[in-house]
């Protein structure tokens, strides 16, 4: 979902944000169908934070839209790491520095991966880089992947990163807003989800290695703007959340070689009310597990796998930018049986949701200032 803020709207938006909270402060207490929890401040005062991951020593690493990458250690936020790549910042949430991913074998190689928009207003593209984290410096920065969708468009960049079993890296790329038809073109990374090795190489078992008209890194295509992706704790399958236009936000399961239909099949309409297509389903198109109409503007996605909330184990959590809440989904196999709206009183845009190694659930709010918060049970 494309949200543009004018200078006046951005000022009003920031004025609505709560004052900075102290680390460890309980922001609110809430009862859900399955648990009573409190929302606790982890870090505040961040400038439009976007992506979050965890280092093996318990520290957090966070990206800010402006291009900064920072480390959070027991609530203390570092200065921006030196050595970060230059990014194009034109519209909060659609360009700039996006996601961060820590290598699964970080203890051995110290690799950090970043996804961002690179270039200028006339020609820009999504890039993935990796670098070694040495203290508070990113060293040996190298570009391991770049899309082939250079354009003056700067909206709908994606971009979420996640690791799969076997150590391959998945990345989501948006349709650049005004290039929707390219999502059906397997020769373009626009509107696709790619799969690469940790050095940028192409796995031999990707679905289109011998198709001369297709990009060999593409794993699936026909997506609009995926901003959440997470591995199911039992099956290992990747589930992802996708922005529709006006309506038609979706949850999908990522399948090898699948076409997810954008823009030839959608449950949404265009922002001016015109019909994009009469098709919501088509033969050969992978349909969603569920969809939202009107839009909720889905963002980060995480399965709960910890011990702090036993009744949440296996549930799927998704951030909402438009409705400004956290959505909990109860599952049975591949079916979503029940949805619950959480953190409605917080009234903040939730950009990312992450399962922490400590058993707590973490959220990122993307205002300026924005923050990182943790859901903790009221009764341990």
263: preceding bond cis by omega (within 30 degrees): yes
First to last CA, the chain: 38
Nearest residue to 358 via CA among 27, 21, 40, 30: 40
Nearest residue to 269 via CA among 290, 294, 245, 251: 245
Q: What is the dihedral of CA 124, 175, 104, 311, to 10 degrees?
A: 140
Instruction: Based on the residue annotation, tell me whether 2 is a catalytic residue of this protein.
Output: no
* SS3 assignment for the chain: CCCCCCHHHHHHHHHCCCCCCCCCCEEEEEECCCCEEEEEEEEEEECCEEEEEECCCCCEEEEECCCCEEEEECCEECCCCECCCCCCCCCCCCCCEEEEEECCCHHHHCEEEEEEEEECCCCEEEEEEEEEEECCEEEEEEEEEECCCCECCCCCCCCCEEECCCCCEEEEECCCCCCHHHHHCCCCCCCEEEEECCCCCCCCCCCCCCCCCCCCCEEEECCCCEEEEEECCCCCCEEEEECCCECCEEEEECCCCCECCCCCCCCCECCCCCCCCCCCCCCCCCCCCEEECCCCCEEEEEECCCCCCHHHCCCEEEEECCCCEEEEEEEECCEEEEEEEECCCCCCCEEEEEECCCCCEEEEECCCCEEEEEEEECCC
Token pair belonging to 95 = 């360009």
Q: How many CA atoms lie within 13 A of 56 on its CB side?
A: 11
| Of 118, 156, 178, 197, catalytic | 156
| Residues designated as active site | 156
């Amino acid at each position: 979902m494309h949200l543009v803020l004018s200078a006046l709207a951005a000022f009003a938006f920031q004025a609505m944000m709560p004052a900075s909270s102290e680390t460890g402060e309980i922001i609110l207490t809430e009862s859900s169908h399955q648990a009573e929890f409190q929302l606790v401040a982890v870090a505040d005062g961040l400038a439009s934070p976007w992506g979050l991951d965890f280092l093996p020593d318990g520290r957090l690493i966070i990206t800010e839209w402006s291009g900064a990458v920072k480390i959070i250690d027991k609530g203390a936020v570092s200065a921006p790491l030196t050595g970060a790549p230059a990014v194009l910042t034109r519209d909060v949430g659609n360009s700039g520095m996006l996601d961060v991913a820590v290598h699964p074998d970080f203890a051995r190689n110290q690799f950090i991966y970043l996804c961002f928009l690179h270039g200028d207003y006339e020609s820009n593209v999504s890039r993935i880089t990796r670098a070694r984290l040495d203290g508070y410096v990113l060293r040996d920065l190298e570009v391991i992947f770049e899309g082939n969708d250079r354009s003056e468009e700067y909206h709908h960049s994606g971009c979420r990163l996640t690791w799969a079993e076997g150590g391959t890296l998945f990345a989501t790329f948006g349709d650049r807003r005004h290039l929707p038809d390219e999502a059906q073109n397997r020769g373009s990374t626009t509107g696709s989800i790619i799969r690469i090795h940790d050095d940028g190489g192409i796995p031999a078992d990707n679905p289109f290695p011998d198709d001369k008209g297709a990009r060999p890194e593409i794993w699936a295509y026909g997506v609009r703007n995926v901003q959440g992706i997470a591995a199911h704790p039992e099956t290992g399958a990747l589930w992802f959340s996708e922005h529709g236009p006006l309506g038609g936000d979706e949850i999908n399961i990522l399948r090898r070689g699948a076409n997810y239909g954008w823009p030839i099949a959608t449950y949404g309409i265009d922002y001016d009310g015109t019909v994009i297509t009469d098709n919501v389903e088509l033969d050969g198109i992978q349909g969603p597990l569920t969809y939202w109409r009107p839009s909720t503007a889905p963002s980060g996605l995480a399965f709960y796998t910890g011990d702090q909330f036993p009744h949440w184990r296996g549930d799927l959590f998704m951030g909402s930018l438009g409705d400004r809440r956290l959505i909990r989904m109860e599952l049975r196999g591949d079916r979503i049986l029940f949805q619950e709206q959480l953190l409605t009183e917080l009234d903040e845009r939730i950009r990312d949701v992450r399962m922490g190694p400590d058993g707590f659930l973490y959220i990122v709010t993307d205002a300026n200032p924005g923050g990182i918060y943790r859901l903790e049970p009221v009764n341990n």
